[in-house]
Amino acid sequence: MTDQPWQQESVIRHSQRLIKSFQHWTETPLITGSVEEPAQSLFEAPFVVVSHGTESDPIFNYGNAQALALWQFDWDSFTQLPSRRSAEPVEQIERDRLLLEAKSHGYIRNYRGIRISSTGQRFWIEDVILWDVLDENYQRCGQAATFSDWKLVGDLRET
């Protein structure tokens, strides 16, 4: 099990891609303030950040600590999970449509949907920003999402 994935060279590079791509598309910073260790700051952020690659059945390649806790996975298990499995089958059609919309525009805002954790806990995600991840040559290398609003289905408390 990887306790501090943000220290891995590949995760540091990917974190930089997430941060730069978000800024590129939205013209706003993903993380703010004076950040000495961007990969650590992103991993420990109080909001969710997830991403997947460009495989035909995309696999999650990043989930910060908040995402891992919400989906109830450790790093190694989460980064082997097809991202479609984060949504119930009935939600996957809408999820796929939004991924295509983000791909054609670079990003979308204000997505809302239901996701499911590894234990079957369902939760709403709200005010989601979904964006294309670009590599150092501005080539698309995946998609990412961030949000700070979620609530358990059937739970009236905001988290």
Task: Indicate whether 11 belongs to any domain.
Answer: yes
- Tell whether 130 is covered by a domain: yes
Inside any domain, residue 158: no
**C-beta of residue 94 within 8 angstroms of C-beta of residue 84:** no
Q: What is the pLDDT of residues 94-133, one digit of tens each?
A: 777 777 888 888 899 988 889 999 999 999 999 999 999 9
The answer to whether residue 143 is domain-embedded is: yes
Could you tell me the CATH number of the domain that includes residue 107? 3.30.450.20
Q: Is residue 67 very low, low, confident or very high in pLDDT (cuts 50, 70, 90)?
A: very high
Please give the tally of structural domains in the chain: 1
Please check whether residue 69 lies inside any domain of the structure.
yes
- What range defines the domain where residue 140 resides? 5-152
